[in-house]
Structure 1
Amino acid sequence: MWFLRRCLKSLALSPLKKWKHHNARDTIFALSSGHGKCGVAVIRTSGPASQEALQILTKWQRLPPPRQITLASIVCPKSGELLDKGLVVWFSAPRSFTGEDCCEYHVHGGPAVISGVLQALGHLSTLRPAEPGEFTKRAFQNEKLDLTEVEGLGDLIHAETEVQRRQALRQMAGELGQLYHRWSHRLIRALAHTEAFIDFSEDDNVEEGILTSVDEEIDKLQKELEDHLRDDRRGERLRYGVQVVLAGVTNAGKSSLLNAINQKPTAIVSSIPGTTRDVLDTTLNIGGYPIIMSDTAGLRDSEDPIEKEGVRRAKARVNEADILVAVVDISNCSLSRDSLLSPLKDLCSSVQGDGPRNIIVVLNKADLISQDNWCTVRELCQRSGLPPTCMLSCHTGEGISDFLQILRHQLEIICGDPLQGAPTITQTRHRLHLTACLHALQSYGIYRQQDLVLAAEELRIAHRQLGTITGRVGAEEILDIIFSDFCIGK
């Protein structure tokens, strides 16, 4: 019964069990809305002394109805001075954000009012200021949120674009965590059946063929994990920003294009070749998609050690690009297919490996060619099989909107719609644990015919990796399934 003893020992040491004892918890308080002057500020308390604090600050004998807004006079507990007239919302445990008794004070957002109410709460010996993220941490510890939902909440707070907001809301709603919980439950059941076969098969208490069903379930899980990991990093790109790199020879107009898109002089523009000698990054919102656009040094051979380092960094950034924008000076090209393809070939040959899969060709300085030549170049581009191509002029602004439309279309292809299909991986941490889980499932198949105990250990490792993503790892779940699925110990 080595497995049962180990599970019982794990139960005794489980941190989740310790988290469920809330009587001795401190009561915390903090400003929950943004800092600075505002119309309304929200100050929150959480913990067993929230009720006492509310009654002291409002001089109420009875608590207001839970989750209903009530007008109150808020006074200082030391001097009795009126601090503000505001709205109070009482949340009784466990129906609150943290799962504890909570209270929210909606007061006027002036700095003096906020400071006065915070000082009043600080005068109470049963309260202390909250640490950063402590309200959300308590929500996790009280099983109101799992780690993926906590991360979704953090992403929602920091979302800067429309598509980021959609993705964060979906994750905060629990869809990603629910997917991992379903996989975790299937793994627990497979592990429980395997452990039961190891411990009880000699007593004829376990059905025949139980290991065959385990093998089939693990094979299905492995394929689902492989499909989930084969997502081209869409969720992570949305969260961190899509890397868009402007590259080309010197004086092609890369810095001018960056300034035109950013609508301000972000990069220095000069007629002197080699002005840009480092990578200049700027964050932009293109149609709701977050991007990090990088202006790079012009690609050319140079004896200047500083410019050589800039070219090296430019080539390295091109290799890391999600989208490469190849900027070509159309005024220096003859009107032929080879002339148009040559700069692109030179750019691709200057980088290592296959380079970026997503390329946009920008033919810049179109204002320097005639209208007839403009039409000729457009026809050549359509017949040449080039990647998505647009002609523009950074000087006049003509064609910039066409470029942005092409860029947005590429972003839609790369990132997709976060509201459609299965939830995607949004954190590098998730990908690392999922990859480790997949490796453990693959190892199960290797050990299955050699040593069933080692195979079961690989299932346990896989389950632990999934549980680490959501923050829910407990041996008691395995015990529950063993005793519910099998008639053992009657």
Structure 2
Amino acid sequence: MTMTGSVPEPRFMRFGAISDADGNLLDNGLTVFFSGPTSFTGEDSCEFHLHGGRAVVAAVLEAVGAVPGFRHAEAGEFSRRAFLNGKIDLTGAEALSDLVSSETEAQRRFALTNAGGKQSELYAAWRRRIVHARAMIEAELDFSDQEDVPGSVSDQVWADMHKMIGEMETHIASYRRAEMIRDGFKVVILGAPNAGKSSLLNSLARREVAIVTDEAGTTRDLVEVTLDLDGMKVIVIDTAGIREAAGKVETIGIERALATAETADLVLEMHDLSASVRAELPMRGDAASITVGTKSDLMGGGTSAVEDFRISTKTGDGVASLLAEISRRAKQAIGDIGEAMPSRIRHIELLTRSASALRDAVQHQDNPLELRAEDLRRSSDSLGRIAGAVDVEDLLDSIFSTFCVGK
């Protein structure tokens, strides 16, 4: 009321003057009031929709901060209040953070899938199965002499828990795909000096990001660009030319190049078609690779049994086809974006802990049922911590501090 004269009807926008406590007009805009518990945070809240000038926004924020009992929100405070008031769980809060920071269509879709509850529903369903198994085991322990309790439920319980371990392990393995969506599909360009690596990077980036000269060993450190290919984040990394006769600094660059290639999702092995001798690259690791013949304008187009692609960054021949293949490989590696996948390393840690406890319960058949039931409890508690259902106060600061102010 201090700034708008009266409180609008809940969930209806009202146009009017927005003033400070002294009655000075700040802007003419829209005001909307959300009453708790049906707001995002579960508490009464109000929004001002202003003209976007910095001076307007700064003046309104200053006026709001001057109202007694009001202060600026801390980073992630709105989402934290929503969590504490039971409006969202921790996976939903993390998905909201991912949605705010999404840069590509794949990241947006992945964040929306998790924000929609698909991830938390999976963990809740697993937890319910474990809690049911634990209840059946404890019922057998406590009431085995009662007629309405089955004589032995162990076979059914442990068969289902064994099946769940496999489901968890498959889910944990999908984290690499989630990493590709969030952090990018990593493509490393590897080749001898003057093989056209930096020229290809500049061609893909459509700007001069790497120095290109006739002098060998120009690139000595990693140079990377981020591309958006069909809605997917793809990181392309140029590396030092691979050769034996290199100086001390260049040798360090070569070692970095080979080490980076080991962790790549895809390696482009570049070979100069105009060179008299084909350079052999000391590939390490088992990363997927594509062999690319460069400077095809000097040798003629087409491909051969040796190269998967022939390109010319000078004429542009073959570059689009190579880019399409990189995109196809990225799509294949990422798979179904709509599938529930763990989106944080803390999810992996807790899922691994849960699966380990479940494995203890299933495999240690000689242990007393009391101990195996305790393993089930540890497993369900680890799952509960993912969504915030069990003892997560120590996690809240680290999770919500990653949000923007006002989110």
**Structure 1 residue corresponding to 2:292, chosen from 362, 377, 381:** 362
Paired residues of 2:175 and 2:343 also in contact (CA < 8 A) = no
Indicate whether 1:400 and 2:400 are aligned: no
Report the CA distance between 1:255 and its aligned residue. 0.7
Indicate whether 1:64 and 2:8 are aligned: yes
The residue that corresponds to 2:26 in the other structure is 83
Give the 3-state SS of the residue equivalent to 1:74 in structure 2.
strand
Report the CA distance between 1:192 and its aligned residue. 2.6
Report the CA distance between 1:65 and its aligned residue. 2.2
Opposite residue 350 of structure 2, the aligned amino acid is: H
Structure 1 residue runs of 5 or longer lacking an equivalent are 1-54, 475-490
Question: Using CA pairs below 8 Å that are at least 6 residues apart, which structure has the higher relative contact order?
Answer: 2
Report the CA distance between 1:202 and its aligned residue. 5.7
The residue that corresponds to 1:97 in the other structure is 40
Aligned counterparts of 1:440 and 1:333: Cα–Cα separation in 2: 60
Opposite residue 359 of structure 2, the aligned amino acid is: Q
Aligned counterparts of 1:166 and 1:81: Cα–Cα separation in 2: 44
Report the CA distance between 1:311 and its aligned residue. 0.9
Aligned counterparts of 1:56 and 1:198: Cα–Cα separation in 2: 64
The residue that corresponds to 1:152 in the other structure is 95
How many residues are matched? Answer: 391
Indicate whether 1:276 and 2:206 are aligned: no
Report the CA distance between 1:447 and its aligned residue. 2.8
Worse overlay, 128-137 or 116-125: 116-125
Provide closer, same or farther for how the CA distance between residues 333 and 153 of structure 1 changes in structure 2, counting only shifts above 3 A: farther
Paired residues of 1:440 and 1:462 also in contact (CA < 8 A) = yes
Paired residues of 1:447 and 1:454 also in contact (CA < 8 A) = no
Opposite residue 436 of structure 1, the aligned amino acid is: R
Opposite residue 243 of structure 2, the aligned amino acid is: R
Provide closer, same or farther for how the CA distance between residues 87 and 331 of structure 1 changes in structure 2, counting only shifts above 3 A: same
Give the 3-state SS of the residue equivalent to 1:187 in structure 2.
helix
Aligned counterparts of 1:93 and 1:228: Cα–Cα separation in 2: 37
Q: TM-score, normalised by structure 2?
A: 0.91
Paired residues of 2:268 and 2:292 also in contact (CA < 8 A) = yes
Give the 3-state SS of the residue equivalent to 2:15 in structure 1.
strand
The residue that corresponds to 1:170 in the other structure is 113
Give the 3-state SS of the residue equivalent to 2:2 in structure 1.
helix
- Structure of greater Rg: 1
Report the CA distance between 1:135 and its aligned residue. 0.3
Give the 3-state SS of the residue equivalent to 2:186 in structure 1.
strand
Map Cα deviations across residues 373-426 of structure 1 (whole Å, 9 max, x no partner): x35xx2x33xx6x6xx2111112222111111111111111112313xx32222
Give the 3-state SS of the residue equivalent to 1:57 in structure 2.
coil
Give the 3-state SS of the residue equivalent to 1:331 in structure 2.
coil
Report the CA distance between 1:432 and its aligned residue. 2.2
Aligned counterparts of 1:71 and 1:229: Cα–Cα separation in 2: 50
Aligned counterparts of 2:175 and 2:332: Cα–Cα separation in 1: 11
Paired residues of 1:228 and 1:424 also in contact (CA < 8 A) = yes
Map Cα deviations across residues 297-323 of structure 1 (whole Å, 9 max, x no partner): 111113511111111111100100001
Equivalent positions of 1:336-355 (< 5 A) are 343=279, 346-347=280-281, 350-353=282-285, 355=286
Identity %: 39
Q: TM-score, normalised by structure 1?
A: 0.76
Give the 3-state SS of the residue equivalent to 1:314 in structure 2.
helix
Aligned counterparts of 2:365 and 2:5: Cα–Cα separation in 1: 68
Indicate whether 1:220 and 2:163 are aligned: yes
Opposite residue 354 of structure 2, the aligned amino acid is: C
Aligned counterparts of 1:447 and 1:204: Cα–Cα separation in 2: 28
The residue that corresponds to 1:181 in the other structure is 124
Paired residues of 2:140 and 2:152 also in contact (CA < 8 A) = no
Report the CA distance between 1:449 and its aligned residue. 2.4
Equivalent positions of 1:436-447 (< 5 A) are 436-447=353-364
Map Cα deviations across residues 126-152 of structure 1 (whole Å, 9 max, x no partner): 112110010011111112111111111
Report the CA distance between 1:250 and its aligned residue. 1.3
Map Cα deviations across residues 192-251 of structure 1 (whole Å, 9 max, x no partner): 333343444466774322333321221121121122223372122111111110001111
The residue that corresponds to 1:40 in the other structure is none
